[in-house]
A and B are shown apart, each in its own frame.
Chain A
Amino acid sequence: MHTTDYLIAGSSHAALEAINAIRMHDGEGSITVVTRDPHRPYSPTVLPYVVSGRSTPERVYLRDDAFFTLNKVDYRSGCALAGLDPAAHQARLADGSTIGYRKLLLATGASPVVPPISGIDRVDYHVLRTLDDATRLRAAMAGSKNAVVLGAGLVGMHAAENLVKAGASVTIVEMSKQLTSGYFDEVAAGMIEQAFLGNGAKIRTGHRVVGLEPGPKGATLQLDNGDTIPADLLLVAVGVRPELGYLDGSGVATERGILVDDSMRTSVEDVWAAGDCAQARGFFTGTPVMNAILPDATVQGRIAGMAMAGDPGIKPYPGGVPLNTYHFFGRHAISVGSAAVPEGGRAQVRFDAASGRYLRAVFDRDERLTGIFGVNEFFDAGVMAQLILRRTDLGPLRERFFAQPLATGRELMSQLWR
């Protein structure tokens, strides 16, 4: 049986950061990476650009073989974790073999949710999470005339824009009343909606798909109001969820994801989890949340790696803050923090129709920033996130901050974290 000091399941952002963190402190301990994907590491976030042709599969890899050699990492692709025996410190792989480990990191990310719509098992549909998904979708897109995107989150919207630009007639179907809910507020979502409509996309918000039938070319969707929509290409992008079947019987506690503490430790000894598969403390709620975004996966991966290697420099996880950037039809939208107005706090909004600049900032009762959202209004999201995490009192600066978030944010940054 192969044994290793550090076993890492997954090869994406959380895993790669963990490798860096381990090697920062422990130059010698053996590291083995097992990943389900057949490729070298890449980011799911880059996939819309593979679909659009902006990037190509050969250009998206985040590490080359030399990296693994240099860092003495045994990298095994096409090798999925299938079961876990924490008492014996052994992991079972999909091919039936076992690996013994001293410490284990679960960084297996999330997978697209496939909603239980009647007939879905009889039609051909696409999802977008892996490089192979992207290649398949790109090929299908070339011949598509009538495409339907199910779900108006960022993954769906990105793909919809690609399809529009590739010349297909596109319909976006979304259950909730608003596009990109959870990322952007009503006004911002309205601007996004206008941009899509202006470019010829059809939008059916507030509707759910109740049935799917194989059609002459692809599938026919049936909406809850009885409408039917033909689709020669169907993309399902209604959300993600970690696939945790490999934990069955292991005793590792899960809710919507793998529950972890502030050092990314699971309920079971010598097992850590980080990234989209983990459910860690939310910065605003204090309770375990799913915050499936790339920056958080890197932060969590780093902390997990440090904890596994016993690095004394470790700092506890500050809690997850939502962070998103989004480009659509030449415009950009940035969202940092929580959109909800905390008790006793307030939201400030400005909109300039001429330039299409929109800004919304949320402050708590102590004049601390809790969220900031802009369309076509650029500010440094990394600086804003720090202002939130550091619970910076903006007090007398609040008006100026709202008028000029870019300059004021930079001034505060330069003074506060020299």
Chain B
Amino acid sequence: MGQAYSTIAFDPAKCDGCGKCMTACASVKFDSTDTTRSLIQIVRSGGASIEPPRPGEFELALCRQCADPKCATVCPAGALGKNGATGVIDWDASKCVDCLLCTIGCTYAGIALDEHSGRVSKCDTCEGKPACVPACPTGALRHVTTARIYNEVGSWEDLFAPGLAGCQGCNTELLMRHALRRVGPDTVLATPPGCVPGMGSVGFNGTTGTKVPVFHPLLTNTAAMLAGVKRQYERVGRKVTAMAIAGDGGASDVGFQSLSGAAERGERILFMVVDNEGYMNTGMQRSSCTPYGAWTSTTPVGEHTRGKSQDAKNLPMIMINHRCEYVATASTAYMEDLYDKLDKALAASERGFAYLHVYSPCTTGWRFQSALNIEVARKAVESNFVTLWEYTPESGLHFTRPVDKPLPVTDYLEAMGRFRHLSPEQVEHIQKKVTENLRFVRKIAEQADEQ
């Protein structure tokens, strides 16, 4: 059985029961206006009877495309099974004998009798483009699929040693392992001082923490050394990917001159920045990427200071001004997006400088529970605190995950301890900054659209 994942997620808080998803499904699947035939069923909670209905009063019955599908387990005819390529539980009409046992196996009402045809019916996600999702006017439905990540990445080799020593709940390990898997074994890796070598990329007791050659440059010369290594390989005729995984401090402050120089020269390297908004590995000091108001050990909260008093430098926007082959921002809360960008960055690094900036929440330095890393990363994007986009010189800048209805920035700020002390004025400042930043990036994106 395959491992791909494809499901339609439902946010009951957004659903107002308009039923447009059911209309769309019945029409697309059965060419019918009868919404009882729809494969997605929205039911109103019975206790609620006040008109008009309000969001939060609706429930959902829909196939979840289970990883462990009980419908398939009990099917005596082998008519149901996970499609490893798409993640969908396929129903083979020609094998099905209409015994209805699958409706016993499924506990989610995901497969049911269609009284018109006398046969069972279930959601097949419309070949990966579910009609219900765009039909929903409130955004309560979302199609989530990781089919590609599971199918391909699972079979690539993990190039980091097991047992790296990260803080509990840190997503940098996830990021490193995924990124290096994708980039592959023909890689020379530079990991300047920061969390990545701190976790063990450069190894212990004389062995490296990676299965590819790795070196530990200075904070100041990472891009320069890596460019030199790459040029030497090119000179002897060997094709390797030269990749750096650096922290935001190493890239935006003290390492910036070598980074800027390499970008300006168009060195063929892939520079990935793990932006946890500070020098977290050495005890949580501020960097130029630390946002306004954030507590760090060098921007303390006390009588005179209330966290950092300057705004963060927008490093990826600065990199655009080097006209690199590729510049993008990404987040571990959106792995499909991150993978897309890794692919493009990797390809671009064969032609010139590729820069990938990944926003990476830090459980220890930002002060939130270790289980909440992805949640915090998601809220950063959903509040527009950070934006996800990509840039190439040919097509300019484009948002890859535009946010329609952003969360108030307080939703993000309240998710962690480093902002706990903020005064209303400081929050207002941050909200303003978010708006201003967004407007700035949007302007550039609009100009790209006009081309």
A residues in contact with B113, CB < 8 Å: 332, 378
Closest B residue to A414 by beta carbon equals B59
Q: Residue A411 contacts which of B46, B77, B100, B112 (CB distance < 8 angstroms)?
A: B46
B residues in contact with A397, CB < 8 Å: 46
Binary flags per residue of B212-232, CB closer than 8 Å to A gives 1, else 0: 000000000000000000000
A residues in contact with B128, CB < 8 Å: none
Instruction: Choose the segment among A184-192, A201-209, A216-224, A381-389 that binds chain B (4+ C-beta atoms closer than 8 Å).
Output: A381-389
Closest B residue to A383 by beta carbon equals B109
Determine whether the beta carbon of A415 is less than 8 Å from that of B104. Answer: no
Q: Residue B100 contacts which of A332, A408, A410 (CB distance < 8 angstroms)?
A: A332
Q: Tell me, in angstroms, the Cα distance from A295 to B97 when the chains sit together.
A: 16
Known contacts: A380-B103, A411-B43. The answer to whether A295 contacts B74 by CB under 8 A is yes
Determine whether the beta carbon of A55 is less than 8 Å from that of B97. Answer: yes
Interface centre among B43, B104, B112 (most CB of A within 10 A): B104
B98: CB under 8 A from chain A? yes
Scan residues 35-49 of chain B and give those whose CB is less than 8 A from a CB of chain A: 41, 43-46
CB within 8 Å: A-B pair count? 106
A59: CB under 8 A from chain B? yes
A334: CB under 8 A from chain B? yes
B residues in contact with A59, CB < 8 Å: 77-78, 95
Determine whether the beta carbon of A382 is less than 8 Å from that of B109. Answer: yes
B441: CB under 8 A from chain A? no
Q: Tell me, in angstroms, the Cα distance from A298 to B105 when the chains sit together.
A: 10
B residues in contact with A408, CB < 8 Å: 46
Q: Residue A295 contacts which of B104, B108, B118 (CB distance < 8 angstroms)?
A: B104
Known contacts: A46-B76, A55-B77, A408-B46. The answer to whether A381 contacts B97 by CB under 8 A is no
A residues in contact with B99, CB < 8 Å: 45-46, 49, 325, 327
A267: CB under 8 A from chain B? no
Q: Residue B73 contacts which of A17, A44, A54, A380 (CB distance < 8 angstroms)?
A: A17
B198 to chain A, nearest CB (A): 32
Q: Tell me, in angstroms, the Cα distance from A386 to B105 when the chains sit together.
A: 10
Scan residues 36-62 of chain A and give those whose CB is less than 8 A from a CB of chain B: 43-46, 49, 54-55, 59-62
Known contacts: A332-B100, A415-B59. The answer to whether A382 contacts B106 by CB under 8 A is yes
Closest A residue to B12 by beta carbon equals A414
Scan residues 47-72 of chain B and give those whose CB is less than 8 A from a CB of chain A: 59-61, 70
B residues in contact with A294, CB < 8 Å: 74, 76, 101
Known contacts: A294-B101, A380-B103. The answer to whether A43 contacts B77 by CB under 8 A is yes
Determine whether the beta carbon of B107 is less than 8 Å from that of A55. Answer: no
Determine whether the beta carbon of B61 is less than 8 Å from that of A413. Answer: yes
B394: CB under 8 A from chain A? no
Q: Tell me, in angstroms, the Cα distance from A284 to B406 when the chains sit together.
A: 51
B404: CB under 8 A from chain A? no
Closest A residue to B59 by beta carbon equals A414
Q: Residue A46 contacts which of B61, B73, B77 (CB distance < 8 angstroms)?
A: B77
Determine whether the beta carbon of A410 is less than 8 Å from that of B46. Answer: no
Known contacts: A332-B113, A380-B112, A415-B59. The answer to whether A410 contacts B41 by CB under 8 A is yes
Determine whether the beta carbon of A45 is less than 8 Å from that of B76. Answer: yes
Q: Tell me, in angstroms, the Cα distance from A338 to B316 when the chains sit together.
A: 65
Known contacts: A327-B100, A378-B113. The answer to whether A414 contacts B106 by CB under 8 A is no
The 3 closest A-B pairs by CB, nearest first: A414-B59, A43-B76, A45-B76
A-B contact pairs, 28 of them (CB 8 A): A13-B74, A17-B73, A45-B99, A55-B95, A59-B77, A298-B73, A298-B74, A325-B103, A332-B100, A380-B112, A381-B103, A382-B70, A382-B104, A382-B106, A382-B108, A383-B108, A385-B104, A386-B107, A397-B46, A407-B43, A410-B59, A410-B61, A410-B109, A411-B44, A411-B45, A414-B43, A415-B45, A415-B59
Binding site for B on A (CB under 8 A): 13, 17, 43-46, 49, 54-55, 59-62, 294-295, 298, 323, 325, 327, 330, 332, 334, 336, 378, 380-383, 385-386, 397, 400, 407-411, 413-415, 417
* Given A62-B76, A407-B43; 15 other pairs, CB 8 A cutoff: A44-B76, A49-B97, A49-B99, A55-B97, A59-B77, A325-B104, A327-B98, A334-B103, A336-B104, A378-B112, A408-B46, A410-B109, A414-B59, A414-B61, A417-B108
